[in-house]
Amino acid sequence: MAKIALITGASSGIGEACAHLFAQQGYHLILLGRREHLLEKIAHHLADKYAIEVKKIQADVRDKENINYVLETLPANWKNVDVLINNAGLSQGLDPIDKGNTDDWDTMIDTNIKGLLYVSKVVSSWMVAQKKGHIINIGSIAGKEVYANGNVYCATKHAVEALNQGMRIDLLPHGIKVTAIHPGMVETEFSIVRFKGDESRAKKVYDGFEPLLAQDIAEAIWFAVSRPAHVNINDMLIMPTAQATATTVKRD
Ligand code: NDP
Ligand code: 8X3
């Protein structure tokens, strides 16, 4: 059987770009996300175009019981996951700590940290059993720096950075590779989600410079995954050329 990649947050942005690139490389795919109609469209297109098998999992990574259920009830041959891309994540709001919305904080913490952990626990146990695998954790420049009003989102991505290191240590005896990919600004649905559907505010984030494309990040992930067995990329920080730090951007 061809190799299998499980991608969380595969319905848009970086996850969708990874689905395309891994399909092109002949991987079978497990695509996880909440918006089933988007997963369906992507799965249908990729299965047709690349003659691969695609399983869709409509699920919310925050729902621990359901994540355990949908993953553990996969057919045995689909549990031979070679690559897990922990990509599902989001930011909600951009406010100082005294004005933050605590529901938004819960959503970010539950998705970016706890959701990533729920998926990783199940899939890493399969990888331990098969003594191989590669986990890619999508962090952020926000996991390397803290910027004004980024408080809780930055904290979740710093947590991803810590978990990435912890996973690498714990899974070392089992021959499992662990890599963090930390993007700077990528134009996806990220800012639309952060600003709760305010598309004009979201658009302004990328005004006057060329942001990264989701495809740029997918290619970096593929670079990490396609290294020889003795090479692991621990960590990659990838920025638009016009962005020097989280908030230092050269705009026209
Ligand atoms: P998008 O909003 O385009 O994609 C986010 C994906 O995550 C969607 O597929 C969404 O699917 C999924 N998702 C969100 N919440 C959940 C949930 N509870 N359960 C399952 N899936 C969920 O943004 P990006 O592609 O940019 O974001 C991907 C990752 O990259 C995130 O972790 C983000 O933090 C990170 N990142 C993004 C940067 C950027 O500038 N864009 C920079 C640095 C890091 P659905 O809504 O269908 O569930
Ligand atoms: C998303 C990038 O702009 O919030 O992780 O630092 S940003």
Nearest ligand to the CA of 108 is 1
User: Given this model, what pLDDT does residue 138 score?
Assistant: 99
Nearest CA to ligand 2 atom 3: 185
Query: Quick check: is 243 in a domain?
Result: no
The pLDDT confidence band at residue 66, using thresholds 50, 70 and 90, is: very high
117 DSSP 8-state letter = H
Residue ranges making up the domain that contains 9: 4-238
Q: What is the distance, to the nearest Å, from the Cα of residue 238 to the centroid of all Cα atoms in its chain?
A: 14
% of the chain exceeding 90 in pLDDT:
100
Q: What tokens does 196 get?
A: 């709760």
Element (H, E) at 85: strand 83-86
Contact in structure between 194 and 227 (CB atoms under 8 Å)? no
Task: Tell me what the mean pLDDT of segment 89-103 comes to.
Answer: 98
C-alpha of residue 80 to centroid of ligand 1, in Å: 25
Look up 153 and say whether it is catalytic.
Answer: yes
C-alpha of residue 154 to centroid of ligand 2, in Å: 8
Rounded Cα gap, residues 205 and 76, in angstroms = 44
Helix (H/G/I), strand (E/B), else coil: 106: helix
- β-strands 54-58, 28-33: how paired? parallel
Query: Quick check: is 245 in a domain?
Result: no
User: Given this model, what pLDDT does residue 51 score?
Assistant: 98
User: Given this model, what pLDDT does residue 75 score?
Assistant: 98
Query: Quick check: is 216 in a domain?
Result: yes
Asked whether residue 1 carries a pLDDT value surpassing 80, the answer given is no
Task: Tell me what the mean pLDDT of segment 241-247 comes to.
Answer: 98
| Each residue's pLDDT tens digit, 185-224 | 999 999 999 999 999 999 999 999 999 999 999 999 999 9
**Domain of residue 170, CATH code:** 3.40.50.720
Query: Quick check: is 246 in a domain?
Result: no
User: Given this model, what pLDDT does residue 194 score?
Assistant: 98
User: Given this model, what pLDDT does residue 245 score?
Assistant: 98
Asked whether residue 152 carries a pLDDT value surpassing 80, the answer given is yes
| Each residue's pLDDT tens digit, 116-130 | 999 999 999 999 999
Asked whether residue 170 carries a pLDDT value surpassing 80, the answer given is yes
User: Given this model, what pLDDT does residue 33 score?
Assistant: 98
Rounded Cα gap, residues 135 and 113, in angstroms = 15
Query: Quick check: is 22 in a domain?
Result: yes
The pLDDT confidence band at residue 29, using thresholds 50, 70 and 90, is: very high
Mean pLDDT of the chain: 98
Three-class DSSP labels, 20-74: HHHHHCCCEEEEEECCHHHHHHHHHHHHHHHCCCEEEEECCCCCHHHHHHHHHCC
User: Given this model, what pLDDT does residue 244 score?
Assistant: 98
Nearest CA to ligand 1 atom 8: 9
C-alpha of residue 125 to centroid of ligand 2, in Å: 30
Contact in structure between 217 and 238 (CB atoms under 8 Å)? yes
User: Given this model, what pLDDT does residue 105 score?
Assistant: 98
Counted domains in the chain: 1
Q: Which numbered atom of ligand 2 lies nearest the CA of 157?
A: 5
Pocket test for ligand 2, best of 104, 138, 140 (most atoms within 8 A of CB): 140
| Each residue's pLDDT tens digit, 209-220 | 999 999 999 999
User: Given this model, what pLDDT does residue 34 score?
Assistant: 98
* Residue of 69, 118, 153, 206 marked catalytic: 153
pTM confidence score: 0.99
Element (H, E) at 13: helix 13-24
Task: Tell me what the mean pLDDT of segment 119-144 comes to.
Answer: 98
As for the ipTM of the complex, it is 0.99
The pLDDT confidence band at residue 38, using thresholds 50, 70 and 90, is: very high
